[in-house]
Structure 1
Amino acid sequence: MASTLVQFRTEDTEKIKSIQILEKLGLSLPAYLRMCMSRLNQENGIPFSMTLEKEYSPGIYALEKASKIAEEYGISDMSLDEINAEIAEARK
């Protein structure tokens, strides 16, 4: 199988930081780039998420996470009085 040379430009700091991370993982930069290309071909697309995260404040994120947890435990329809009663009971 014939091989080909692939070149691209990047910032020096990006390259240095990447090499440092890869060294800790026991990989070289060329080996990593070959792995990336192999996975791209295996997946027939980019092998990781490329979505933008919603821009939330930490408070909104915490409320959404708490809401999901409440749904998982089947307590998302509790009233404020029921929640306060549960808290009072737990504090006893």
Structure 2
Amino acid sequence: MSEQVLIQFRADKDLKQEVSYIYEELGMDLPTALRMFLRKSKQVRGLPFDAVLSDPSSGREDIRAAFYGLRKEAADLPEMTLEEINAEISEARSARKRGKE
């Protein structure tokens, strides 16, 4: 086993308690969860989750408008039979298999 070091940092008390409770429900303590975070960071060579800035121009109304626009487009599409759906799935699987060979 490699040499152990102590890592200390400050965190909001309420946040620590809430997060500790979550990890306890998962069967682990906070130090174990933090070690898992560090190991995953090493594995992916970065943050183990997406860290992106939200687009400030994408407000709730923009998202709602996009949703209803896509919904309207989908309503204009012809209905597919179960056989057509299964054939499309089968073709996609075959194409994926051909790509792997």
Q: Report the TM-score, using the length of structure 2 for normalisation.
A: 0.61
Between the aligned partners of 1:44 and 1:58, the Cα distance in structure 2 is 33
Change (3 A) 1:70 1:34: farther
User: Unmatched 5+ residue regions in structure 2?
Assistant: 77-101
The one-letter amino acid of 2:19's match is S
Deviations 1:15-38 (A, max 9, x none): 111111111111110000000000
Paired-residue identity, %: 27
Unaligned runs of 5+ in 1: 76-92
The CA RMSD measured in Å over matched residues stands at 2.3
Deviation at 1:11, TM superposition (A): 1.3
Mapped to 2, the partners of 1:3 and 1:33 lie a distance apart of: 14
Alignment coverage as a number of residue pairs: 75
1:86 aligns with none
The structural deviation recorded for 1:7 is 0.7
Q: For residue 68 of structure 2, what is the aligned residue in structure 1?
A: 66
